[in-house]
Amino acid sequence: MLGKAIPRKEDQRFITGAGLYVEDVQLPGMLYAAFVRSAYAHAYIRRIDVERARNVPGVVAVITGKEWPELSATLPELNGSVTLTSPYIDSVKVVPHHLFPEKACYVGEQIAVVIAESAYAAADGVEAVEVEYEPLPAVASWEEAIKPEAPRIHKGVDNTVAHLKHEVGDVERAFRDAEIVLEKRLETQSLKSMAIECRAVAAQWEEATGTLNVWSTCQFHYMLRSAIAGILKMPAEAVRVMARDIGGGFGLKGVLHAEDVIIPLIAYRLKRPLRWAETRMEHMTASNHSGRQVHDVRIAARRDGTILGMDLKMYKEVGAYDHFDMMLQINTINHLTTHYKVPNIRVEGWAIATNTSPGSPYRGAGRVEAVFTMDRVLDAVARATGLDPIDVRLKNIVTPADMPYRNGMIYRDGVPVTYDAIDFPLLLERAKQRAEYDLWRRRQQEYRAAGRSIGIGISSYVEAGGLGPCEGATVSIDEAGRVTVKVGVNSQGQSHETTLAQICAHALGAPIDDIQVLGGDTSLMNIGFGTGASRVAVNAGNAVYKAAVAVRRKVVALASGILGCTEDEVEIADGIVSVAGARQNQTTLGELARRALRDRRMADLGGPGLVATEFFYPKTVTWASGVNIAVVEVDRETGHVDILKYVFVHDCGLPLNPMVVDGQIRGGFTQGLGIALGERVVYDEEGQVRSGSLMDYYVPRAVDVPDLELDHVTFPTPDNPLGIKSVGESGPNSPPAAIAAAIEDALGGAVEINTLPVTMSAILQALRSS
Amino acid sequence: MKRTISVTVNGKVRRESVEPRLLLVHFLRDVLRLTGTHVGCDTSQCGACTVSMNGLAVKSCTILAVQADGAEITTIEGLARDGALHPIQAAFREHHGLQCGFCTPGMIMAAKQLLERYPAPTIEQIRDQLDGNICRCTGYHGIIKAIEAAARAMAEKGQAPTTGS
Ligand code: FES
Ligand code: FES
Q: Which of B26, B27, B44, B103 to mutate to test the pocket of ligand 1 (most atoms within 8 A of CB)?
A: B44
Over the stretch A269-321, which tens digit does the pLDDT of each residue have? 999 999 999 999 999 999 999 999 999 999 999 999 999 999 999 999 999 99
Task: Report CA(B111)–ligand 1 centroid distance (Å).
Answer: 16
- Compute CA distances A332 → A45, A416, A541, B3, whole Å: 37, 15, 26, 57
What's the length of chain A? Answer: 770
**How high is the ipTM of this complex?**
0.96
Residue type, A657: N
The ligand placed nearest to the CA atom of residue B28 is 1
Suggest the residue from A16, A118, A246 to mutate for an interface test with chain B (most B CBs closer than 10 A): A16
Rg for chain A (alpha carbons), in Å?
27
Query: Mean per-residue pLDDT for A614-630?
Result: 97
Q: Distance (Å, rounded) from C-alpha A212 to C-alpha A233? A: 12
Residues 326-355 of A with CB under 8 A from B: none
* Ligand 1 pocket residues where CB is under 6 Å: B 39-41, 44-49, 59, 61
Q: DSSP class of residue A395?
A: H
Q: Provide, as residue numbers in chain B, all residues whose Cβ is less than 8 Å from the Cβ of A15.
A: 76, 85, 89, 92-93, 98, 101, 104, 108
Beta bridge partners of A661: none
The ligand placed nearest to the CA atom of residue A247 is 2
Query: Mean per-residue pLDDT for A618-628?
Result: 96
Q: Is B158 exposed, middle or buried (0-12, 13-18, 19+ CB in 10 A)?
A: exposed
With bands split at pLDDT 50, 70 and 90, how would you rate the model's confidence at A80?
A: low
3-class SS at A61?
Answer: strand
Structural domains of chain B in order of their starting residue, each with its CATH number: 3-78 (3.10.20.30), 87-156 (1.10.150.120)
Query: Mean per-residue pLDDT for A34-55?
Result: 98
Pairing of strands A239-242, A211-216: parallel
To the nearest whole angstrom, how far is the Cα of A556 from the nearest Cα of chain B?
A: 36
Lowest mean pLDDT among A67-81, A562-576, B68-82: A67-81
| Residue A167 scores a pLDDT above 70 | yes
Where residue A149 falls (left for φ over 0; alpha for ψ -120 to 50; beta otherwise) is alpha
Across chain A, mean pLDDT equals 96
With bands split at pLDDT 50, 70 and 90, how would you rate the model's confidence at A690?
A: very high
C-beta atoms of B102 and A248 within 8 A: yes
Structural domains of chain A in order of their starting residue, each with its CATH number: 1-27+199-277 (3.30.365.10), 293-467+620-769 (3.30.365.10), 471-616 (3.30.365.10)
Q: What is the predicted pLDDT for the residue at A769? A: 84
C-beta atoms of A694 and B134 within 8 A: yes
3-class SS at A295?
Answer: strand
Q: What would the 3-class secondary structure string for A500-535 be?
A: HHHHHHHHHCCCHHHEEEECCECCCCCCCCCCCCCC
Task: Report CA(B124)–ligand 1 centroid distance (Å).
Answer: 23
| Residue A85 scores a pLDDT above 80 | no
Over the stretch B78-132, which tens digit does the pLDDT of each residue have? 999 888 999 999 999 999 999 999 999 999 999 999 999 999 999 999 999 999 9
Q: What is the predicted pLDDT for the residue at A87? A: 85
Query: Mean per-residue pLDDT for A687-715?
Result: 96
Q: Provide, as residue numbers in chain B, all residues whose Cβ is less than 8 Å from the Cβ of A7.
A: 93-94, 96
With residue A276 as reference, give the H or E element that holds it.
strand A274-277
Beta bridge partners of A462: A625
With bands split at pLDDT 50, 70 and 90, how would you rate the model's confidence at A732?
A: very high
Q: What is the predicted pLDDT for the residue at A83? A: 47
- Compute CA distances A521 → A309, A335, A515, A529, whole Å: 48, 33, 18, 11
What is the side-by-side strand order in the sheet with A622-634? A453-465, A622-634, A641-651, A709-712
Ligand 1 atom nearest B44 alpha carbon: 3
Partner-chain residue, chosen from B30, B96, B136, that has the shortest CB–CB distance to A195: B136
To the nearest whole angstrom, how far is the Cα of A673 from the nearest Cα of chain B?
A: 10
- Number of Cβ within 10 Å of residue A601's Cβ equals 14
Within its chain, how far is the Cα of A588 from the centroid? 41
| Residue A380 scores a pLDDT above 90 | yes
C-beta atoms of A7 and B144 within 8 A: no
The ligand placed nearest to the CA atom of residue B134 is 2
C-beta atoms of A8 and B93 within 8 A: yes
Task: Report CA(A543)–ligand 1 centroid distance (Å).
Answer: 39
Q: Provide, as residue numbers in chain B, all residues whose Cβ is less than 8 Å from the Cβ of A21.
A: 35, 38, 102
With bands split at pLDDT 50, 70 and 90, how would you rate the model's confidence at B163?
A: very low
Q: Provide, as residue numbers in chain A, all residues whose Cβ is less than 8 Å from the Cβ of B43.
A: 280, 693-695
Q: What is the predicted pLDDT for the residue at A235? A: 97
Residues 6 or more apart whose Cβ sits within 8 Å of residue A658:
A3, A4, A5, A712
Q: What is the predicted pLDDT for the residue at A585? A: 86
* Ligand 2 pocket residues where CB is under 6 Å: A 196, 248, 493; B 98-104, 135-138
Query: Mean per-residue pLDDT for A697-720?
Result: 96
Task: Report CA(B47)–ligand 1 centroid distance (Å).
Answer: 5
